[in-house]
Structure 1
Amino acid sequence: MFKVVLVDDVATVEFGRKLSQCCDQASCFFLYGDLGAGKTTLTRGFVQGLGHKGNVKSPTYTLVEPYELADWQVYHFDLYRLADPEELEFMGIRDYFSDNSHCLIEWPDKGLGVLPEPDIIINLTYLGLQRQIEISSCSAVGQKIIEKLELLHE
């Protein structure tokens, strides 16, 4: 497990950028945390770290926000308002997980049974006015990402 304290939104975005630089193959992230804990802020940094220049917004009402980048497809899911995991089947969820995609999923518990297993689980928690992030690996891909993160934070 990898842990770090993020002092503010700027640090959260920067951490997301660093995280994206540790991903050299397709990956799936499950993002856990209370409302306002920084899941979308972290995703913003991740997407910008891969070269996106525009706005990165929460897909709370659309379920997924796609970002087509030079080398990657990034899909940011927010399943907070998902009523039934079967809705994911209707939207073709399996098509989003490919060899050139990174999928970051907020509120993944709403899609259990339909979503694939994650490579990385990220927990964001309040620590006073700061945030603590805990990252754990669920696959060989996830372990490589954590190893690269540890090198960046030495």
Structure 2
Amino acid sequence: MDALEFHLADPAATARLARRLAPHLKAGDVIALHGGLGAGKTTFARALVSALMGTETEVPSPTYTIVQTYEAPDFPVYHFDLYRLEFPDDVQELGWEDTIDGLALIEWPDKAGDHLPAWRLDLTLQETADGRTARLEPRGEDWQSRLHGI
């Protein structure tokens, strides 16, 4: 499947994209959030977690805890912020292997090195003069049917 691209005029549009994606996710999924500081990764993550929880949920940035866990009705959500990770192998100490039962939402995924699974959804957010762009790049065949109509 080719990548999907969206123009997001403001933070509310970023949140709407997250809410549109939420019903298409399942346990075992990995979403890698790429983009620089201020690109909208946290806005996207907060909206996605709230949509999966089924209610407005406080979603603090996991910058200092590195991982926050949410018990959503259908499956747990593991929100990683790997910005402070010094070495890729450090993800093993975070319970990385235990996230297979839920959704892994990963900010700064490049810090995971070879530990980042090949089957994932890469979401790149980039600031533009009139908002930001979002590029969803599915890696794995079953994403094609699930992302149809996003």
| Number of aligned residue pairs | 147
Aligned with residue 94 of structure 2, among 85, 91, 100: 91
After superposition, where does 1:1-154 map in structure 2 within 5 Å?
Answer: 1-50=3-52, 51-98=54-101, 101-149=102-150
Question: How high is the TM-score relative to the length of structure 2?
Answer: 0.90
**CA shift in 2, pair 1:96/1:114, >3 Å:** same
1:94-127 CA-to-partner distances (Å, cap 9, x unmatched) read: 00122xx111111111011223224211110111
**AA at the equivalent of 1:122:** L
Separation of aligned partners in 2, 1:35 and 1:142? 27
In structure 1, how many angstroms separate the alpha carbons of the residues matched to 2:24 and 2:82?
Answer: 25
Which runs of at least 4 in structure 1 moved beyond 3 Å after TM superposition? none
Do the aligned residues in 2 keep the contact of 1:27 with 1:141 (CA within 8 Å)?
no
Q: Which blocks of at least 5 consecutive residues in structure 1 are unaligned?
A: 150-154
Structure 2 distance, partners of 1:118, 1:55, is 29
- Which secondary structure does the structure 2 equivalent of 1:113 belong to? helix
Tell me how far apart the structure 2 counterparts of residues 58 and 142 of structure 1 sit (CA, whole Å).
27
Shift of 1:29: 0.8
* AA matched with 1:38: G
In structure 2, list runs of 5 or more residues that go unmatched.
none
Change (3 A) 1:106 1:146: same
SS in 2 for 1:3: strand
Q: 1:43 offset after TM fit, Å?
A: 1.0
2: distance between equivalents of 1:87 and 1:132?
Answer: 31
Shift of 1:24: 4.1
The worse-fitting range, judged by mean Cα deviation, of 74-83 and 110-119 is 110-119
For 1:152, the equivalent position in structure 2 comes to none
Q: Percent identity?
A: 36
